[in-house]
Amino acid sequence: MAAVAVWGIGAIGAESVPGRYVWPLSDQTKVTAGFCDWRPGHYHGGIDITTGGTEGLDVRAADSGWVMRLSTSYWGYGKAVYLQMHDGRIAVYGHLSEFAPAIQKYVEQEQYASRRYGQNLFPAPGELPIGRGDVIAKTGQTGGGPPHLHFEIRTGQNRPLNPLVFGFEKPDAVAPTIKAVTIVPRPPIRPKDRPVSINGGWMPVTITMEGPADSRRLTETPVVTGAVGLSILVEDGIDGDRYVLSPYRLRAWVNDQPVAQVTYDSINYSHTHLIDLERRIDPRPGLAPRSVNLFRRVHNVLWHYTDMVNEGWLVPGETLIPGANIVRVEASDIAGNTSSAEFGLMLVEKSPAPDPTRTGNLPTEVTYQASEGGLVVFFPQTSGDGPARCCRDSECADPLYSIPVPGGVATWLSPDEGLDAIWVSYGDSTPTEHALPWTSVRREEGGTVVSAAGDASVTIGPDDLFRHTYMALTVAPAPSHPPQPLSLLYEFAPFDAAFARAVRLAIAQPVNSPDPAKVGVYRFRGPARGWDFEGAGRDSARGVV
């Protein structure tokens, strides 16, 4: 017996409610991915609704209109319907298993005529009319991923809007949870400006929250010496569900004065690549991943940000006062559920001496610690002649900013200076040149970062970066997670660097590969997630993957 299905036209949810659309699935309301959730290199442009692991559920039209676009693909949204609604907005439904009969017939005619499965079709206005609540498709998993429905609302100009602001009766009585705050030093505005320290170091610091959701507290009071920004890690599940979504709105106050607000109402496709300027992407232990920056980094023109004072940076003399400051952050969801956190922030003129290792184990060799804003070089005290002096020139007439730390001296380098070597002396000894195993890559010019052995490289084109950055490609400890790679494992630093476009990574073709044609580049995401395939392009002339 052939498989059959009941489609029904206008039978479900056809009643008209002013300002409200019909929810796409009648029996499924659990949202598993939210609007503006992080995706590699872009924002999630809609919401995902679970289908309970099954396919074939009725997908209903949000409102009356006509089918303006149809696509069938092995990738992306798979089978998708784009509905032009009577109010001018567009509803998008992705990962479908099949279309309604009239739509299916239209698509099949084009597929047979072109002898191609993949289609991107634009029916004439009114050619495929749709009524409010009509069943237009069945859910599936085409294009990738487990069975679910991807749903979007867009403007008539194809700008994605947050679907949940349109009055769907989606129950949600649980406020977002503020998990942690990362304090981020503002990079020096000029190359020789004094760097900002946080708790005695020059790197971002994440501090976790504790206490009930409506009155969270930091576990410690950060101590800063200059302008800093706040990056907030928030988890929001609709009605307390285990799926973690992006919050709808974040706000911050300092000493009862508003300083920043981020609201996720809509996005612009031409700006979606800026997500890594708005979210922190640093995966290092102890730093909160994918938190939301309540300050604008260089070239961040996203319109999420409103009511910004000093672009969200907390600036001494304007936002911060000497001594104790009171910071309050607030997170809200679409339903208006709100949680808050309050903590102290201490502004001092001179921070306690930093310990670059943060582990208590003092290194016996020169070590490096980097962020997009600069490079910290630690020189251990290996000579009895006195602490190290670090300079830009062989005569030490132009000293670098350095401070004594336990076990040696720490020096801060601005990537804007573009130094590839510095001069170091101990006490009165003659300065000697110290070549930096880090490459200063300028935004306008780009460059190539090469591993010490020359067997791996990253090529960065002009304007691929948002700002000048010190970069390094180093060998990392081999993971214990199977399977073991054929090559060494490399780390590309700094881990918080944001890219405007994709860059090219090349690794020498392993000589011990059993089948060179099947060798690919994989990313190790940790013991819990294992390996992800990234690509398998080859340059035979260079002998690289």
Q: pLDDT, tens digit, for every residue of 416-447?
A: 888 999 999 887 888 999 999 999 999 999 99
Q: Read off the tokens for 354.
A: 């930093």
Q: Which of 133-147, 439-453, 489-503 has the lowest mean pLDDT?
A: 489-503
Q: Which of 67-81, 84-98, 346-360, 468-482 has the lowest mean pLDDT?
A: 346-360
Instruction: Return phi, psi of residue 84, to 5°.
Output: -80, 115
The H or E element that residue 102 is part of is helix 101-114
State the CB neighbour count (10 A cutoff) for residue 529: 10
Give the residue with greater pLDDT, 395 vs 386: 395
Note the pLDDT of residue 6.
Answer: 35
What residues form DSSP beta bridges with 309? none
Rg of the chain over Cα atoms, rounded to whole angstroms, equals: 27
- Measured in whole angstroms, the distance separating CA 483 from the mean position of its chain's CA atoms is 28
Whether the pLDDT of residue 483 is over 90: the answer is: no
| Angle of CA points 296, 321, 415, to nearest 5° | 40
Q: How far apart are CA 374 and CA 187, in angstroms?
A: 7
Note the pLDDT of residue 18.
Answer: 44
Which candidate, 169, 166, 151, places its Cα nearest to that of 19?
166
Contacts 24+ apart (CB under 8 A), 313-318: 313/186, 313/227, 313/228, 313/229, 314/227, 314/228, 314/229, 314/230, 314/254, 314/259, 314/345, 315/227, 316/226, 316/227, 316/347
Query: In angstroms, what CA-CA distances link 203 with 19, 185, 361, 466?
Result: 47, 7, 18, 19
Q: How far apart are CA 380 and CA 391, in angstroms?
A: 16
The reply to whether omega before 483 is within 30° of 0 (cis) is: yes
Note the pLDDT of residue 1.
Answer: 32
The DSSP secondary structure of 359-420, one letter per residue, reads SS---SS-EEEEETTEEEEEEE---TT-SEEEESSTT-SSB--EEEETTEEEEEE-TTT--S
Buried b (16+ CB within 10 A) or exposed e, 335-354: bebbbbbebebbbeeebeeb
Report CA torsion sign: 429, 430, 436, 441.
Answer: positive
Q: How large a percentage of the chain has pLDDT more than 70?
A: 92
The predicted-structure confidence for 457-475, as pLDDT tens digits, reads as follows 999 999 999 999 999 999 9
Buried b (16+ CB within 10 A) or exposed e, 310-319: bbbbbbbeeb
Note the pLDDT of residue 352.
Answer: 65
Q: Which of 99-103, 206-210, 452-456 has the lowest mean pLDDT?
A: 206-210
CA atoms within 13 A on the CB side of 446: 14
Q: pTM here? A: 0.87
53 neighbors 69 (Cβ within 8 angstroms): no
Whether the pLDDT of residue 394 is over 80: the answer is: yes
Q: How far apart are CA 196 and CA 206, in angstroms?
A: 16
307 neighbors 294 (Cβ within 8 angstroms): no
202 neighbors 184 (Cβ within 8 angstroms): no
The predicted-structure confidence for 91-122, as pLDDT tens digits, reads as follows 999 999 999 999 999 999 999 999 999 999 99
Which candidate, 476, 73, 484, 34, places its Cα nearest to that of 245?
34
Look over the chain and give the mean of its residue pLDDT values, rounded to a whole number.
87
Q: How far apart are CA 45 and CA 97, in angstroms?
A: 21
Helices (H) and strands (E) in the chain, counts: 2, 39
Whether the pLDDT of residue 490 is over 60: the answer is: yes
The predicted-structure confidence for 296-305, as pLDDT tens digits, reads as follows 998 999 989 9
101 neighbors 130 (Cβ within 8 angstroms): no
Q: How far apart are CA 22 and CA 39, in angstroms?
A: 27
Q: Read off the tokens for 393.
A: 């020139």
What residues form DSSP beta bridges with 347? 224, 323
Whether the pLDDT of residue 358 is over 60: the answer is: no
Mean pLDDT computed over 396-413: 86
Whether the pLDDT of residue 455 is over 60: the answer is: yes
Mean pLDDT computed over 200-210: 86
Mean pLDDT computed over 196-223: 85
pLDDT category at 202 given cuts 50, 70, 90 is: confident
Whether the pLDDT of residue 411 is over 80: the answer is: yes
Which candidate, 65, 81, 61, 68, places its Cα nearest to that of 21?
61
Whether the pLDDT of residue 384 is over 90: the answer is: no
Report CA torsion sign: 64, 68, 71, 76.
Answer: negative
Length of the chain: 545
Amino acid letter at 187?
P
pLDDT category at 173 given cuts 50, 70, 90 is: confident
Query: End-to-end alpha-carbon separation of the chain, Å?
Result: 51
Note the pLDDT of residue 19.
Answer: 55
Q: Which of 182-191, 243-252, 254-263, 510-519 has the lowest mean pLDDT?
A: 510-519
Note the pLDDT of residue 383.
Answer: 65
Residues 6+ apart with CB under 8 A from 481: 524, 526, 527, 530, 531
Q: How far apart are CA 344 and CA 223, in angstroms?
A: 9
Q: How far apart are CA 391 and CA 225, in angstroms?
A: 23
The DSSP secondary structure of 29-74, one letter per residue, reads --EEE-TT-EETTEE--SEEEE-TT----EEE-SSSEEEEEEEE-S
